[in-house]
Structure 1
């Protein structure tokens, strides 16, 4: 929005008319800023020329996301999509001169949607792993797709949480042998549960019964109602649930987070121009301090990165 200019006594009406014409001409060269505050597609965006032309023409990047994972991405009381990922996406949009539009989907379908070109990106607290890079099913080891590239933007581990005042002595994964846990389907938490269950069975300590849900909020509801002994989720999500659910009276984190790994923005293999544009934009917002402000806003400073990396997960 342009600030109004104070008139100077010496300026003639014709000059004012000329100024208005000039402003109108400039206005016709760009797209107006959207009412929701999204960045407009303008030459002022320093990295706009790095994007594929088709995306520049549309002025929109479609983002597949499971929008039920606070504080990473979720809907506030007014229905607006908020969280760490949307804030970072807005900052990237300012650099690239486009709007990032989040589209809701279940987590385990996001990469499929990316391959099918329903989305340009997937950004959903998705851990960058070699299996996802290579399109390999972590359970079977078989190739299931082309795989994706990641631009890494955050680091998070996995945490165990229980009902507050009812942790049953659970502190580590070994303590979950013979217990029932809840997880979100298709996540590294579910993968880890399968691996730990195999250890429990081998040690003859009882199975870890795992119930998987489409989203983490469903898993939390199950645990809250007494339908499980513990939940397993990414540390920022578990910490947010412990702080906010029931006014902080429903859950508590037990033990330390494990397997810290990068979150990545997923880009289809072969779409290297878009991948490099996202990497450049992320580096820019890290360097200009906007990234640091976002991370501090959501109180997740421990997961901050200092540079954008491609496929840094292992």
Structure 2
């Protein structure tokens, strides 16, 4: 899930991947976000004294024993609520493994995606971890639409990569195979995501080529965009590939949606940290690298069937 980043379509590349790669447990269902997460929705960690990387944390965080995480908990399978209301997903599992290295709990707090960086700046959270793509615009605090600086920017610790996919109602592909086929269509997207940026870029291309206009409808959450398409208010939805594939696999028992065309590469997911919090940033980088090196990361990635997005190095600000 990427927000407010300038699209660089010339740098995108197709990457073919089967929908079946998202091998998640059939009992997990796509659900919308609700209120703040329950107290038991944080990650489990070892005690600080026993954790190998605890001394890398800022003293205030180490003493508190908790890292507060801003997240849009409506983006299965990255983070979402299961049937019991517990927050689960790829990010939750990665955070739990990091917590064992750092000796702290990661407590996820629910918010809409387009408010996460603002919430981080306002110190409502220590970090934002929500399928957020690491981009230069976010690093520098640049508004993608205006090109103007609107904030201090954030640093990222990269931990995954994901492409972007298009999907339609099942059996109604609208003859869509590529983004260029969207002219004359209506696309539903989550607001301020990379899919939203791609849609805006494509709308300009349709206009420049004097083709039929591309209409964009944006929503606070991806499930809302899907609901709009289900009601025939939109022809197509775009989301990060793991999310699109999960929706195709699980929504309506697999009867609601289908992916059309190949995914395009968006870039690395990153954990966002305030620019002035370099000690926490470096501790997070060390924790991600530690779970990559000790094999815990690989187990999590395989559990969720998203090996295609695995990284081997926890880079800082690796996005472009």
Q: TM-score range by the shorter chain?
A: 0.7 to 0.9
- Cα deviation for residue 40 of structure 1 reads 4.0
- 1:300 corresponds to: 306
- 1:184 corresponds to: 190
Runs of 4+ in structure 1 over 4 Å off: 34-37
- 1:228 corresponds to: 234
- After TM superposition, list the pairs within 5 Å mapping 1:1-314 onto structure 2: 38-314=44-320
Residues 150 and 266, structure 1, Cα contact 8 Å, conserved in 2: yes
* Whole-angstrom distance in 2 between the partners of 1:194 and 1:307: 32
- Cα deviation for residue 245 of structure 1 reads 0.4
* Whole-angstrom distance in 2 between the partners of 1:243 and 1:300: 14
* Whole-angstrom distance in 2 between the partners of 1:217 and 1:298: 20
- Cα deviation for residue 185 of structure 1 reads 0.5
* Whole-angstrom distance in 2 between the partners of 1:246 and 1:54: 46
- Cα deviation for residue 37 of structure 1 reads 6.9
* Whole-angstrom distance in 2 between the partners of 1:199 and 1:206: 10
Q: Deviation per CA, 1:212-249: give whole Å up to 9, x if none.
A: 11110111111112111000110000000000001111
* Whole-angstrom distance in 2 between the partners of 1:224 and 1:294: 32
* Whole-angstrom distance in 1 between the partners of 2:203 and 2:42: 46
* Whole-angstrom distance in 1 between the partners of 2:300 and 2:246: 16
Residues 162 and 229, structure 1, Cα contact 8 Å, conserved in 2: yes
SS in 2 for 1:154: strand
* Whole-angstrom distance in 1 between the partners of 2:213 and 2:158: 34
- Of residues 276-285 and 220-229 in structure 1, the stretch that sits farther from structure 2 once superposed is 220-229
- In the superposition, the TM-score normalised over structure 1's length comes to 0.88
Instruction: Give the total of aligned pairs.
Output: 281
Larger RCO: 1 or 2 (CA < 8 Å, sep 6+): 2
- In the superposition, the TM-score normalised over structure 2's length comes to 0.86
Q: Deviation per CA, 1:13-47: give whole Å up to 9, x if none.
A: xxxxxxxxxxxxxxxxxxxxx89772243321000
* Whole-angstrom distance in 2 between the partners of 1:41 and 1:141: 45
- 1:28 corresponds to: none
SS in 1 for 2:300: helix
CA change 1:256–1:216 in 2 (3 A) is same
Q: Which structure 1 segments of 5+ residues have no match?
A: 1-33
* Whole-angstrom distance in 2 between the partners of 1:214 and 1:265: 21
Q: Which structure 2 segments of 5+ residues have no match?
A: 1-39
Q: Deviation per CA, 1:259-307: give whole Å up to 9, x if none.
A: 3300000000011000000000000000111100111111110000001
Residues 41 and 56, structure 1, Cα contact 8 Å, conserved in 2: no
Larger Rg: 1
Alpha-carbon RMSD: 1.2
CA change 1:202–1:37 in 2 (3 A) is closer
